[in-house]
Amino acid sequence: MQELSGLIRKAVDEYEMIAAGDRIAVGVSGGKDSVALLAGLCKLRRFYPKPFDLVAVTVDPCFDNRQTDYSPIQTLCDQHDIPYVIRRSELGTIIFEERQESNPCSLCARMRRGMLHDMARETHCNKIALGHNYDDAVETFLMNLFNEGRIGCFQPVTWLSRKELTMIRPLIFAPERTVRNIVARNSLPIVKSKCPVDGKTNREEMKQWIEQMEKSRFPDLGKLVFGAIRRGHVDGW
């Protein structure tokens, strides 16, 4: 966890993500990134010079009209004395049954973020932390370039004026491989997604394409793209 908390602190310090007295809602889907983010922020909180509080928040899409068992996450939160709030939703029904979306990920992400923002405000938080990592930034940049013909990526820090909430992404310097290894070594609890398109998304295709390019022609492709994002100050980087 020391390595992860170090990467988180680097992002937090460089982009001034945390101020003294912040109350931060951590969006926890149950996947490795969000669970690692929660655990990493818990460790950072112990020694960071600016005191802050944490609340874990989860939106359950209830795929197949079934509630997800998040008890392993509840146990993790109890161990670190973190309040944990779960909101059951009808996202699964709306997206896959009622609307039958051909591109479900985009709508699901927007609706879930909206709910998380509301939960952050309801739990008296002024900031919300999401688990996008280093690889997510590279993939998002290339997806925007190839799919939409634009230069762009999510921001490390975003002010949400309508919600009066600041969104932060403390894992932006943490490669996915590092996150995966840390989760495994520390036996952090993972709640497997029951999404019908899990592993079959446009992002997964981009992830595989990058891996192929790094193996066959451009071994430093991810590092080059990430460096270009930062040097070009793309979207607040």
**Residue in the block written with tokens 């990592």:** 133
Mind listing the pLDDT tens digit for each residue in 183-223? 999 999 999 888 877 777 889 999 999 999 999 999 999 99
- Report in angstroms the alpha-carbon separations of 71 from 33, 185, 206: 18, 20, 32
Q: Which residues of 81-99 are buried (b: 16+ CB within 10 A; e: fewer)?
A: ebebbbeeeebbebbbeee
Q: What is the mean pLDDT of residues 18-35?
A: 97
- The mean per-residue pLDDT over the stretch 84-92 comes to 91
The pTM of the full predicted model, rounded to 2 decimals, is 0.93
User: Cα separation of 196 and 206, whole Å?
Assistant: 19
Give the integer Cα–Cα distance in Å for 76 and 28. 12
**For residue 69, what pLDDT is reported?**
95
Instruction: Please tell me the predicted confidence (pLDDT) of residue 5.
Output: 93
Q: Is the dihedral of CA 225, 129, 79, 189 positive or negative?
A: negative
pLDDT of residue 81: 96
More confident residue, 100 or 9: 9
The radius of gyration computed from the CA coordinates of the chain, to the nearest angstrom, equals: 17
Helix axes 134-148, 202-216, angle to 10 degrees: 100
DSSP per residue, 8-48:
HHHHHHHTT---TT-EEEEE--SSHHHHHHHHHHHHHHHH-
Q: Which two tokens mark 193?
A: 């997604």
pLDDT, mean of residues 131-153: 96
Is residue 101 very low, low, confident or very high in pLDDT (cuts 50, 70, 90)? low
**What's the length of the chain?**
237
- Residue 102 — very low, low, confident or very high, per pLDDT cuts 50/70/90? low
Give pLDDT, residue 125.
98
pLDDT band at 105 (very low <50, low <70, confident <90, very high): confident
